[in-house]
Structure 1
Amino acid sequence: LHVCDAGALFTESGPDAGHGFGDRARTHASVALRAAADAWPVLERFLELRVPDQVTLDTDELVSLLDHGVADLEQRGVSVLWPRTLGRDLTATAVLDRRTAPGRREEPLNTGVFGAEALFSFDWQIALHGEPLDEDEMARLTSAAVPMLKLRDNWVIVDPRIARKAKKRLVRTVKPVQALAAALTGVVEIDDLPEQVIVGASLLEVRERLAGAATREPVAVPPALRAELRDYQRHGLTWLAELTTLGLGACLADDMGLGKTVTLIALHLHRGSGPTLVVCPASLLGNWEAEIRRFAPGVAVRRHHGAGRDLEGLTGGFVLTTYGTMRNDAAALDRVGFDLVVADEAQHVKNPRSSTAQALRSVGSRARVALTGTPVENNLTELWAILDWATPGLLGSRNAFRKVWAAPIEAGVDPDKARQFADLIGPFLLRRRKSDPGIAPELPAKTETDHLLGLTREQVVLYESFVRDSMERIERADEDVRRGLVLKLLTGLKQICNHPAHFLKQANPRLAGRSEKLDLLDEVLGTVLSEDGAVLVFTQYVAMARLLERHLETAGVPHQLLHGGTPVREREAMVARFQAGEVPVFLLSLKAGGTGLNLTRADHVVHVDRWWNPAVEDQATDRAYRIGQTKPVQVHRLVTQGTIEERIAELLARKRALADSVLARGETALTELSDAELRDLVELRPVESSPDGA
């Protein structure tokens, strides 16, 4: 500890002192020493000396200085300077490598490396000037009785924390996927602190294989596949083959319509090592069966759905089931011993606590693949649920994930966290969009139009009175009741914007002339039918779809309606009729018809009302705008001016990233608005003109 010339201050403080210091300097030195002694009590011995120039430290005091004294003194602004002959150059770094169990020989890291028997560990590596200590030096370090040691002809100060790490070389053993996670990010949490990791040779090869899995030379297309795979599909197949060969899961998150189904069929043929279970929404069973028979005609397909379900004698091929059936038959499915389990539209299990998600986790297989066009609808925890099913343990527990990754990334406080997270999930999540260069150049143009419409006089009266009455109740309500009232307000306003009869729940209403949405829909349908085209009409409300169905019946327009209650076989028949050109107008409820269906006969898509999440609307549009579409697609979004619909449309158009992170939470997020913010969102605003003067 350097105390400058404190002795001179105390022995030569008279007016003739040659050093030039006076009584004030002596006083300041005393105050400084007392402050330092408060931080590190050993310095109180200075204050007991008439000439406080030096003290001799014993071993315990030196350990105390190294252990916490230096840090405590620095907090008080006191620097500790060390003699040049004493170095503080010992460092400890976490090293991650494979650990071989006693009595087992180490096997190469290849097929099945991430099986249950593989074991990895973090160990502390102690180094001097960056060069690791050898075993003899480590032995001397761990047995040293004093915090100073002569290593390589130099005396070094041994920080007690480093000494403890040297004595306890093993930090902990970890499962293979946990080791892989640390290898990908280069960081591990030890005692709640991030530590840099040196990756041992046993994991470097795997890390490099994963990093290049989606870009390396593609594997051969299976001879039994009756399809020409596009380049990006071959790379997707190669990536899936690499990960599943290593015993890892994957999430293929390509845009809707880019051929995830045919890629999975190719993977099944490539592996050729047992049956594949596909779990999907009921509406997609027919699509999967048709695609398998089309692209792999020699492969057996068995539907495990409805009455008479049977898994006996299953040795290969595909088993197709729904999430509901899987939930009920999870134990029987687990006994089959599947090679692959595929979760299609995997966002259905984004809630890990749901009985469906838990049942899916209980069905065993050699590898798992999640398929989804929207891996993150609301927050990062949903992505955790999908990836933790595909590769359990990769992202840690749900609570640990929220603390380590989701919370800091969503708060935007640590840019490095976002980069590390991308490094971690990148090898397991493959995302391609139609707009990416070279992905789907053959797709025709897509034109999107927001049709701004007015409200009729009847709608204006309903809208304003409903806002007034609802806001009065909301402003008086307690928090729990308020949330329900806000949701009721938002739903009611959207119904009013659609049609007064929708909001009023009228049994046999007059429809014509009461909503500009209905008038514009008539115009669009007239154009489509005159050009021998076909149109998809989406609404989020089955009740509104019923009103449209009634209107089209009156007008004599051929149509059909699909909603959540439509039986699976009837859905398949509807798709076939539409694709064959027998029915030009297809009414669909957004949730039932927004995913999975292949409806490329349509060249127009109409969104009667706006959904809170643009990704859901995009998925619905992709029923028509997908590979196989040969005609330009026109998308029509009907938006009433001055209303909540226009406010939401402005937000979505201005910043879709906001929609991904906030509006995707839908009406629930809007319940958290203050009364003033909510009123600003829902109040009817004047517009420049309206056809009926409203």
Structure 2
Amino acid sequence: ALRRAARAWTPLAPLLSAAVPDALDLADEEITDLLGTGARALAAAGVDVHWPRQLARRLSARAVIGPPGEGSPGGESPDRFRTTTPSFLSADALLAFNWRFALGDQELSREELDRLAEANRPVVRLRDQWVLIDPEQARRAREHQDRKVTPIDALGAVLTGSTEVDGRRVDVHPTGWLAELRERLADPEGMAPVGQPAALAADLRDYQLRGLNWLARMTSLGLGACLADDMGLGKTITLIALHLHRQTAPETAAPTLVVCPTSLMGNWQREIERFAPGTPVRRFHGGRRSLEDLDPGEFVLTTYGTMRLDAAQLAGVDWGMVVTDEAQHVKNPHSATAKELRTIGARARVALTGTPVENNLSELWAILDWTTPGLLGKLGTFRTRYARAVEEGKDPGAAQRLSQLVRPFLLRRRKSDPGIAPELPPKTETDRAVSLTTEQTGLYEAVVRETLAEISGADGIARRGLIVKLLTELKQICNHPAQFLKEDAPRIPGRSGKLELLDELLDTILSEDASVLVFTQYVQMGRLIEQHLAARGVASQFLHGGTPITAREAMVGRFQEGEVPVFLLSLKAAGTGLNLTRAEHVVHYDRWWNPAVEAQATDRAYRIGQNRPVQVHRLIAEGTIEDRIADMLVRKRELADAVLGSGEAALTELTDSELADLVELRGGAR
């Protein structure tokens, strides 16, 4: 046994030649070696090392992070707390990263730690006892005790309760306002609710109010946030309410910039005008875009593409808040869009998305590193410390630490959550406005100009025929230029605002594992959508008037069994008689003149047997005849019943001036 031990640790070799191998004097460096590598080598050889009980030898460490000086501002008012908290969106403050060391349960003073480090010996007399410790460990401890860290690094450490130093994980204890901040973030219900803004023209549901309170708390602390509710739970109105709330305080009253896909810009403007009447709103988009004479309470809407081009100009504004809608558009942190977005400063940043993680955790890093820069560290470190360990299931502790770190900054509610679905109406209908592309605008204006000239010189049946032709062609242009031009081998992407919006909707719907019905009154448009979805790898099927009965029944069966999530349907062929309760979403790609026909189509999903809320999305080309018809349906229901109930025929009786007013293109184009 002694020979085996001596082979493992050579300082024991003199015992082999001793007459009585009972004791051995060791040099300081040999004791130091035995404390670390020697003990491990002996253990591997099956030899235990026992130290005298009276020797205190365990030097433990924990980090103490907080503002310079001692004490905590506990009991301060929320207003005072806000003013003493540095902005977490910049590194304008450094916090003391101090260490507390203890031998057993006895905490050491700085002077005692200095003695341990300077003694350069493994055995030191301290507090009337012998201390056995690795001198190198003591030196490292002393070197680390005067570190400084940014507030966001400190917050990440105190939220997880630990941090990594030189490859070792150490416990972290917060002090001062940092300790209070951790308590506030850990107790979402602890803050007094802000209440619904008086200027909001709507009644928020309970879960929306909770979302508003959460966003108000996070942004008031200078922190960013990601609202990741399911589609249809009202992220837009919650954000509008937050903007109105922030206008009531002088320190947060400032313009809000919303960056969104082009297809959603019209919808944002309408929602703001509807729920925050009187609030200024402008589009920073198109050739005449300007940021002059911004009102402090104004909404500015722009697209990801325009933001990328004009980031420098946008960065020159003192934004109260910058919002990214469909924030998964910046999930690639190396993209030009993500890089330019980071150059635009704001007092608060909010990301809205129904799909915070589509493929991997690096996407979550990209979103949260924009809302609260530095929270999750560098991407490479995040991949090593969290993402890889969580995705491969190798380290359950990593998943828990990531959850503790992310939870305060991301609010995720699903329709299936308790207390959410019961509040939703069984059917939610939304008009989704979308801008025409430049190509669509040119075609629309040309057809209006040429056909109105023809109509002015015609009468009787010929005039009525020209009007029907005009209305049909305008609707086709609103759908897609390829439909109007009857192209044999069309280039489909990038030419239709409606198709872009449909892609956005389908991405979100499919990410929630939901199913959708897409109605169009034109078979040709249905085929274009089918071809487009196939190119994108989205499984779909198309039912129209030429579909045989057996094939029709098979399609319904496949959809109801969940085999095909997107069901394209011709309005005339599938508007009645089908039971498609698998669908949670219904999209009306183009408007029908008679709202009752649309309602019948919607009832394919919203009928007996449907046990989930149904969301209806009507796509409307802004500034076009579709917009005018939608306006009549919403605000002039009695007139709509009288004029539109009989469909296009009633419109053929309009005068030339009334017809021109109906079809004229007003703004709304890109």
Q: TM-score, normalised by structure 2?
A: 0.64
Residue number among 88, 99, 118 corresponding to 1:143 in the alignment: 118
1:420 aligns with 2:389: no
- Unaligned stretches of 5+ residues in structure 2: 70-78, 248-252, 428-530, 577-586, 607-611, 619-670
Residue number among 571, 595, 601 corresponding to 1:581 in the alignment: 595
Partner Cα distance (1:172, 1:79) in 2: 38
Partner Cα distance (1:337, 1:181) in 2: 27
Task: Kindly report which structure 2 residues correspond to 1:71-110, keeping only aligned pairs within 5 A, or say none.
Answer: 71-99=40-68, 110=82
1:310 aligns with 2:290: yes
1:274 aligns with 2:288: no
The match for 1:298 is 278
Output the amino acid matched with 1:35: R
Output the amino acid matched with 1:95: V
The match for 1:430 is 411
The match for 1:324 is 305
The match for 1:680 is none
Structure 2 residue matching 1:162: 3-state secondary structure: helix
The match for 2:317 is 336
- Per the alignment, do residues 45 and 556 of structure 1 end up closer, same or farther by CA in structure 2, a change over 3 Å counting? closer
Output the amino acid matched with 1:135: R
Output the amino acid matched with 1:581: P
1:442-462, CA deviations, whole angstroms, 9 ceiling, x for partnerless residues?
A: 43558xxxxxxxxxxxxxxxx
Task: Kindly report which structure 2 residues correspond to 1:474-493, keeping only aligned pairs within 5 A, or say none.
Answer: none
Task: Kindly report which structure 2 residues correspond to 1:225-264, keeping only aligned pairs within 5 A, or say none.
Answer: 225-264=200-239
The match for 1:513 is 548
The match for 2:465 is none
- Per the alignment, do residues 167 and 603 of structure 1 end up closer, same or farther by CA in structure 2, a change over 3 Å counting? same
Partner Cα distance (2:396, 2:538) in 1: 42
Partner Cα distance (2:97, 2:410) in 1: 26
The answer on whether the counterparts of 1:341 and 1:368 sit within 8 Å (CA) in structure 2 is: yes
RMSD, aligned CA: 3.8
Deviation at 1:258, TM superposition (A): 1.4
- Unaligned stretches of 5+ residues in structure 1: 1-31, 101-106, 447-487, 503-508, 525-537, 559-572, 587-600, 607-618, 626-694
The answer on whether the counterparts of 1:368 and 1:391 sit within 8 Å (CA) in structure 2 is: yes
Structure 1 residue matching 2:347: 3-state secondary structure: strand
Partner Cα distance (1:510, 1:583) in 2: 16
Output the amino acid matched with 1:193: R
Output the amino acid matched with 1:48: S
1:153 aligns with 2:125: no
Deviation at 1:520, TM superposition (A): 5.6
Task: Kindly report which structure 2 residues correspond to 1:529-540, keeping only aligned pairs within 5 A, or say none.
Answer: none
- Per the alignment, do residues 604 and 326 of structure 1 end up closer, same or farther by CA in structure 2, a change over 3 Å counting? farther
Output the amino acid matched with 1:343: T
Identity of counterpart residues, as a percentage?
50
Partner Cα distance (2:10, 2:32) in 1: 13
The match for 1:52 is 21
Output the amino acid matched with 2:41: D
- Per the alignment, do residues 492 and 336 of structure 1 end up closer, same or farther by CA in structure 2, a change over 3 Å counting? closer
The match for 2:34 is 65
1:361 aligns with 2:342: yes
Deviation at 1:176, TM superposition (A): 1.4
The match for 1:648 is none
1:275-308, CA deviations, whole angstroms, 9 ceiling, x for partnerless residues?
A: 0001111222122111111221121000112221
The match for 1:477 is none
Deviation at 1:99, TM superposition (A): 4.4
Partner Cα distance (2:592, 2:46) in 1: 78
Partner Cα distance (1:332, 1:493) in 2: 35
The match for 1:119 is 94
Residue number among 158, 183, 186 corresponding to 1:208 in the alignment: 183
1:655-684, CA deviations, whole angstroms, 9 ceiling, x for partnerless residues?
A: xxxxxxxxxxxxxxxxxxxxxxxxxxxxxx
Partner Cα distance (1:496, 1:97) in 2: 54
The answer on whether the counterparts of 2:426 and 2:613 sit within 8 Å (CA) in structure 1 is: no
Partner Cα distance (2:306, 2:142) in 1: 55
Structure 2 residue matching 1:337: 3-state secondary structure: coil
- Per the alignment, do residues 603 and 244 of structure 1 end up closer, same or farther by CA in structure 2, a change over 3 Å counting? farther
Output the amino acid matched with 2:408: P
Partner Cα distance (2:32, 2:539) in 1: 76
Partner Cα distance (2:592, 2:45) in 1: 78
Structure 2 residue matching 1:42: 3-state secondary structure: helix
- Per the alignment, do residues 399 and 603 of structure 1 end up closer, same or farther by CA in structure 2, a change over 3 Å counting? farther
1:284 aligns with 2:264: yes
Deviation at 1:186, TM superposition (A): 0.9
- Per the alignment, do residues 411 and 574 of structure 1 end up closer, same or farther by CA in structure 2, a change over 3 Å counting? closer
Residue number among 169, 178, 191 corresponding to 2:144 in the alignment: 169
Structure 2 residue matching 1:168: 3-state secondary structure: helix
Partner Cα distance (2:574, 2:591) in 1: 18
Partner Cα distance (1:605, 1:161) in 2: 71
The answer on whether the counterparts of 1:512 and 1:519 sit within 8 Å (CA) in structure 2 is: no
Deviation at 1:574, TM superposition (A): 7.9
Deviation at 1:165, TM superposition (A): 2.8
- Per the alignment, do residues 579 and 286 of structure 1 end up closer, same or farther by CA in structure 2, a change over 3 Å counting? farther
- Per the alignment, do residues 108 and 228 of structure 1 end up closer, same or farther by CA in structure 2, a change over 3 Å counting? closer
Partner Cα distance (1:145, 1:161) in 2: 8
Output the amino acid matched with 1:267: L
Partner Cα distance (2:565, 2:414) in 1: 25
1:55-90, CA deviations, whole angstroms, 9 ceiling, x for partnerless residues?
A: 111222222222422222222221111122222233
The answer on whether the counterparts of 1:66 and 1:160 sit within 8 Å (CA) in structure 2 is: no
The match for 1:350 is 331
Q: TM-score, normalised by structure 1?
A: 0.62
Deviation at 1:108, TM superposition (A): 7.4
Deviation at 1:393, TM superposition (A): 0.9
Partner Cα distance (1:296, 1:497) in 2: 38
Deviation at 1:495, TM superposition (A): 9.6
Output the amino acid matched with 1:516: A
Partner Cα distance (1:271, 1:253) in 2: 21
1:309-338, CA deviations, whole angstroms, 9 ceiling, x for partnerless residues?
A: 111111321001111111111111111121
Deviation at 1:346, TM superposition (A): 0.8
Deviation at 1:406, TM superposition (A): 1.0
1:234-257, CA deviations, whole angstroms, 9 ceiling, x for partnerless residues?
A: 221111111111211000111211
Structure 1 residue matching 2:373: 3-state secondary structure: coil
Structure 2 residue matching 1:94: 3-state secondary structure: strand
How many residues are paired up? 478
The answer on whether the counterparts of 1:40 and 1:73 sit within 8 Å (CA) in structure 2 is: yes
Deviation at 1:140, TM superposition (A): 2.3
The answer on whether the counterparts of 2:426 and 2:614 sit within 8 Å (CA) in structure 1 is: no
Deviation at 1:120, TM superposition (A): 2.4
Shifted more, 64-73 versus 339-348: the winner is: 64-73
1:371 aligns with 2:357: no
- Per the alignment, do residues 539 and 308 of structure 1 end up closer, same or farther by CA in structure 2, a change over 3 Å counting? farther
Residue number among 396, 399, 413 corresponding to 2:377 in the alignment: 396
Partner Cα distance (1:247, 1:58) in 2: 57
Partner Cα distance (1:39, 1:385) in 2: 50
Partner Cα distance (1:339, 1:62) in 2: 61
- Per the alignment, do residues 575 and 335 of structure 1 end up closer, same or farther by CA in structure 2, a change over 3 Å counting? farther
The answer on whether the counterparts of 1:214 and 1:236 sit within 8 Å (CA) in structure 2 is: no
Task: Kindly report which structure 2 residues correspond to 1:423-502, keeping only aligned pairs within 5 A, or say none.
Answer: 423-444=404-425, 498=541
